[in-house]
Amino acid sequence: MRRMGITAIAPKRRLSKPAPGHKIYPYLLRGLEITEAGHVWSADITHLPLARGFCYLVAVIDWASRRVLSWRLSNTLDASFCIAALEEALERYDAPQVFNTDQGSQFTCEGFTSVLTGHGVQISMDGCGRWLDNVFIERLWRSVKHEEVYLKAYENLTEARRELAAYFDFYNHRRRHQGLSDRTPDEVYWSTLRTTQAAA
C-alpha cells in the first residue's frame, strides 16, 4: 500500500503544523494570574468523525470562565474557518488583552494574526509540543467528544452543526464545572466580566 501511495481516509497526526516563514510569538501565560473573563482568550482545532470521513472543529474560549465564545466547522484545514470564528467572537464581545493558540499555520498566518493586532490584542503561542500550555481548550475537546460526538454518529456537516450548537448551548449555560466551583461557564463569565469592567 505504501509503494502504491494508498492511505486511509483519516485525519493525519499533528494538526498543528507550523508554516515556513510565519512569525511565531512567545508564550505569555506562564505565571500570569487569570481570574477575570475577557483577560485571555484561547483557540484550537480538533477533528471529529462523521459517518463518511471527518471534519474539523475550531473554538474560541474565554480562559478564566471556559466559556465557548464562538466555533466553526470545516471539511478542510485552511485558515478561513478559524478567522471566521475569531471575527465572530470579536464582533460579539470586547477584545481580550491576550489571545493564545498553538503554532499551527491557521493561527500564525497573516490573515489570523492581523485581525488580533488590529484589535490591539497581544498574541501568545504554546511552546512546540506543549499541550499543557493550552490545557483548558484540550479539556473542552475531551468533554465535547465524550459527552456529545462519540455518543452520536453524525451523518454530515449539517447534522454536526445542529447537534454541536445544542451541545455548546448546554455547555455554556447548564453544564457545571468542578474547576469553577460547580458553576457554569456562563455564570463565571458574566460575574467576573463585570468586575473587570468596574475596575477599568
List the CATH code of the domain at 40-199.
3.30.420.10
> Running DSSP on this structure, what letter comes out for residue 11?
P
> Which residues lie across from 43 on neighbouring strands?
60
pLDDT of residue 6: 63
What is the average pLDDT score of the chain? 87
For range 120-145, the mean pLDDT: 82
- In this prediction the pTM is 0.85
Of 80, 127, 79, 69, whose CA–CA distance to 101 is shortest?
127
Cα–Cα distances in angstroms (integers) from residue 137 to residues 17, 25, 41, 58, 158, in the given order: 18, 19, 10, 10, 24
pLDDT of residue 63: 94
Cell numbers standing for residue 87:
471575527
- For residue 169, which amino acid is it? D
Instruction: Indicate whether 161 pLDDT > 60.
Output: yes
Q: Which of 133 and 51 is assigned the larger pLDDT? A: 51
Burial class (CB in 10 A: 0-12, 13-18, 19+), 85: buried
Instruction: Indicate whether 36 pLDDT > 80.
Output: yes
pLDDT of residue 196: 45
Q: What are the strands, taking DSSP E only, across the chain?
A: 40-49, 54-62, 68-74, 98-101, 122-125
Helix (H) or strand (E) holding 189: helix 185-199
Cα–Cα distances in angstroms (integers) from residue 175 to residues 30, 54, 78, 128, 184, in the given order: 28, 26, 31, 32, 6
Q: Tens digits of per-residue pLDDT, 59-96? A: 999 999 999 999 999 999 999 999 999 999 999 999 99
What is the rounded distance in angstroms from the CA atom of residue 199 to the CA atom of residue 36?
11
For range 145-159, the mean pLDDT: 94
Q: Tens digits of per-residue pLDDT, 170-189? A: 999 999 998 899 999 999 99
